[in-house]
Amino acid sequence: MEVAQAIYHRRAVRSFTAAPVTAETLRSLIDAAIQAPSAINEQPWRFAVAQRRETLRRIAESARDHLLSLMQTGSPFLRFRDMLQAPGCDILHGAPALVVICATSAAPQAAEDCALAAQNLMLAAYALGLGTCCIGLARPWLNQPEGKRLLGIPAVCAPIVPIIVGEPALVPPATERRAPHIDWIDRPD
């Protein structure tokens, strides 16, 4: 697949079939993720993968309850309150797999490195016909001691990009992109 096809047609998928994603496929997505560049080639990432329905349910519910406990005035999560309180709310959208890209150090650019790995993973998934979506809403709870324990990661590591993966049941239409603000600070002579 042409890289432009993946870049321009990948969408945030939030509706999945019940088809499982094989461990081999997830491994190939992680292999694509680690081809990302990283500052001074630190490769400061590790990956936690959850596939059991019970584990995914626990993460989704814990993360939702944690967010609902953070609804004080001024919270950036206030806008999600109604959605989180709606019956049946599942912040993992019923996906059959979750890959959490975690930073292994507090190096100044570790989070950016993980984000680059995340985009590789999502484009590689698209090329395999799979759907993905970053789930930032899961991050606050996953960064709690209980969340890190569930992921099996050391306290010094930090979950940066949770990504759900599965066979798309529905692919949403493209979201519009605003025209970029570009300051051409000079031009060739």
Ligand X SMILES: Cc1cc2nc3c(=O)[nH]c(=O)nc-3n(C[C@H](O)[C@H](O)[C@H](O)COP(=O)(O)O)c2cc1C
The stretch among 8-16, 41-49, 104-112, 140-148 that binds ligand X (CB under 6 A) is 8-16
Residues numbered 13-52 forming contacts with ligand X, rule: CB under 6 A: 14
Does the protein bind ligand X through residue 136 (CB under 6 A)?
A: yes
Q: Which residue is nearest to ligand X (CB)?
A: 136
Does the protein bind ligand X through residue 12 (CB under 6 A)?
A: yes
How far apart CA 143 and CA 76 sit, in angstroms, is: 17
Q: How many residues bind ligand X (CB under 6 A)?
A: 9
Residue choice 56, 103, 137, 165 for contact with ligand X (CB under 6 A): 137
In DSSP notation, 40-76 reads GG---EEEEEE--HHHHHHHHHHHHHHHHTT-STT-T
How many Cβ atoms from other residues are within 10 Å of residue 80's Cβ?
17
Residue choice 56, 103, 133, 142 for contact with ligand X (CB under 6 A): 133
Sign of the CA dihedral with 53 first, then 15, 91, and 165 last: positive
Binding stretches for ligand X (CB under 6 A)? 11-12, 14, 133-137, 175
